Amino acid sequence: MGGAITTLIAQLFRVGSSVGAIIVASRILSPTDYGIYAMAAPVTGFAMLFQNIGFDHAVVQSDEVSEVQLSSLFWLNIALCLGLAVLLVAVGPLVGMFYGSAQAGVLVAVSGLLILATAPNPLYSALLNRQMRFHAQSVVDIISSITMFVATVIAALLIRSYWALLIGAIAATLVNTVSFMVIERWRPRFTFQWGSIAPMVGFGGGVSVYGFALFVTRNIDKVLLARVWGPATLGLYDRAFKLMLSPLQNFSTPLSRTLLPVLARTRTEPERYRRAYLMFMQGIVTGAVPAIMAASVGSDAAVRLLLGDAWQATGPIFGWLSATAAMLLINESAPWLFMSTNRSRLMMHWGLFASATVVIGFMIGLPWGAIGMAKAYFFGEALRTPILFWLAARGTPIRMSDIARLHLITVAAAAATAGVQLLLPTGLPPVPHLAVLVIAAYAVALPVQFLSSPGREGLAMLWTWAGKAVPRRPLRRGRA
């Protein structure tokens, strides 16, 4: 439990730094700057998919991992990253031609430096995860988050260009890599044996295909918007996406470091497995979803407060994407159920299906611009959710009713904030507007916890922690 709490704190810090950088940099850079960077991001992200071909999950899952296997995986990853960096330089001009923007092409070519900087990270992160050294990983996350924020803001102030965003990303990655290698003292040997790692790469194959499908669902919308509507519209959409969806999606991988090893080790103990998953998810959902729904319903006020009046057109987009984020916060735990029960092939098939339906939805929403894309994301996710957990929960102690109770928190918070929104006067300043919505959301969501045993247990644990945190003065006895 201590590792889970540390990881959660680190991710809250990481999301805070990310959102802080967005808020500050958005007041310095223009929507077009963000649009150009968002054009290049899918291409760089696609290259990163092939950075480790899923072997980090295999390292965590394997009962034993030899020195030869670790060294072979390390050098395989270095070779992949070198090849990918060269490939980005080669495809840069083609990207510029596709978008009709030479700036985007140059940005893609230079992004090869980001690939090289992150080359050792997956294996070192997997080693720390395997050893359940969650505190160490959390320290690295916090240090790199601070670096990203500081470097991005300073670069934005100095050069006032989209290059500031890449500079921040490279600086954070370099600090991340150095920190991993200082904390984890393992060093690779000069050896490579393909036969020793072939089964591990095979396990990662299903995970990699799922990662590819997930990448498509998260980036095809930006590619389509850039191609049809241009960098300014994409910039508005990208700010809404980065402000809400991207930070929350970044929770998935770090939090899986904590929960996935626990699930993998308790899969033969159904009650422990179910309790670990539900307690973890109940805490995450209870803590985050009410605030997300308040931001969704009060999206115009949230955008005015965070980004300023110049980004007001982002408000409706932010509202729909925030509502989607509330579902994704739960749905992105489904891969943990697949992987902890060794069903990476089924996860791969689901990823391909989900990717295809997402593309269809975005094509339908594209004629209505950024708002149409945001709506397509929301309705598509709502339709896929029951199917996803019907597949993910099969063969595990988790029941569909358990998942329904988690989503009930979202429904309750949405109903509360929507009702209060109708009663609020127009022209209310952003801070009191959002404060009232947040209070209403939590006031309704917290009692919903009593409908499930994990919810009741979580509230009892929270009450106990709160009691321990409050210092108590010893009673003074009067003199007789």
Determine which of 175-179, 225-229, 405-409 has the lowest per-residue pLDDT on average: 405-409
Query: Within a domain: residue 198?
Result: no
Judged against a pLDDT cut of 70, whether residue 476 lies above it is answered with: no
The verdict on 295 and 443 lying in the same domain is yes
**Same structural domain, 405 and 280:** yes
Q: Are residues 174 and 207 in the same domain?
A: no
- Rounded alpha-carbon distances, angstroms, from residue 72 to 62, 79, 288: 15, 11, 40
Instruction: Report pLDDT for 129.
Output: 74
% of the chain surpassing 70 pLDDT: 83
Examine the domain organization and report whether 117 and 265 are in the same domain. no
Q: Is 260 a domain residue? A: yes
Distance of CA 204 to the CA centre of its chain: 20
More confident residue, 342 or 316: 316
Mean pLDDT, the chain, whole residue set: 83
- Taking each helix axis from N to C end, the angle separating 163-183 and 102-110, rounded to the nearest 10 degrees, works out to 10
Contacts of 465 (CB under 8 A, 6+ apart): none
Please tell me the predicted confidence (pLDDT) of residue 215.
Answer: 80
Q: What pLDDT is stored for residue 249 in this prediction?
A: 59
pLDDT digits (tens, 9 = 90+) for 429-444: 999 999 999 999 999 9
Q: Given 192, 226, 250, which residue is the final one in a domain?
A: 192
Q: Taken in order 292, 295, 296, 297, is the CA torsion positive or negative?
A: positive
412 found inside a domain = yes
Same domain, 226 and 371: yes
| Residue 478 belongs to a domain | no
For residue 28, give the 3-state DSSP assignment. Answer: coil
In sequence order, what are the residues at sequence separation of 6 or more whose Cβ sits closer than 8 angstroms to the Cβ of residue 126?
55, 56, 57, 59, 60
Q: How many domains does the chain have?
A: 2
What digits encode the pLDDT tens for the residues 247-259?
665 566 666 666 7
| Residue 185 shares a structural domain with residue 226 | no
Q: Are 317 and 374 in contact (CB under 8 A)?
A: yes
61 and 206 Cβ atoms separated by less than 8 Å: no
pLDDT of residue 231: 87
How far is 310 from 30, CA to CA, in rounded Å?
A: 9
Q: How far is CA 463 from CA 165, 443, 466, 470, in A?
A: 41, 16, 5, 11
Last residue of a domain, one of 161, 192, 223: 192
In a domain, residue 471? The reply is: no
Q: Is 103 domain-assigned?
A: yes
pLDDT above 50 for 480: no
* Whether residues 207 and 188 fall in one domain: no
The answer on 386 and 355 residing in a single domain is: yes
pLDDT at residue 466 is higher than 60: no
Which span out of 44-48, 126-130, 234-238, 370-374 was modeled with the highest average pLDDT?
Answer: 370-374
Kindly state whether residues 154 and 42 are assigned to the same domain: yes
- Among 56-60, 154-158, 356-360, 462-466, the minimum mean pLDDT is found in 462-466
The pLDDT of residue 352 is 87
Residue 157 is predicted with a pLDDT of 93
Which residue do the tokens 């950024």 mark? 370
Residues, the chain, total? 480
Are residues 171 and 286 both part of a single domain? no
> What is the average per-residue pLDDT within 462-469?
56
- Work out the average pLDDT over 446-464: 68
pTM of the predicted protein model: 0.74
Helices (H), 230-269: 231-240, 246-265
Please report, as a single letter, which amino acid is at residue 258: T
Confidence of residue 306 (pLDDT cuts 50, 70, 90): confident
What is the residue type of 13?
F
- Residue span of the structural domain in which 28 resides: 1-192
Residue 475 lies in a domain: no
Q: Count Cα atoms within 13 angstroms, Cβ side, for 136.
A: 17
* 68-114 per-position pLDDT tens digit: 888 888 888 888 899 999 999 999 999 999 988 899 999 999 999 99
Question: Which residue carries 């072997």 as its tokens?
Answer: 55
CA distance 45 to 28: 25
Report yes or no on 472 lying in a domain: no
When comparing pLDDT for 251 and 357, which is higher?
Answer: 357
Q: Give the SS3 label for residue 306.
A: helix
pLDDT for res 374: 94
Is a pLDDT exceeding 90 seen at residue 357? yes
Same domain, residue pair 25 and 50: yes
Model confidence at 465: pLDDT above 70: no
Where is the domain boundary, 173, 192, 211? 192
Whether 208 and 235 share a structural domain:
yes
How far apart are alpha carbons 267 and 270 in whole angstroms?
Answer: 6
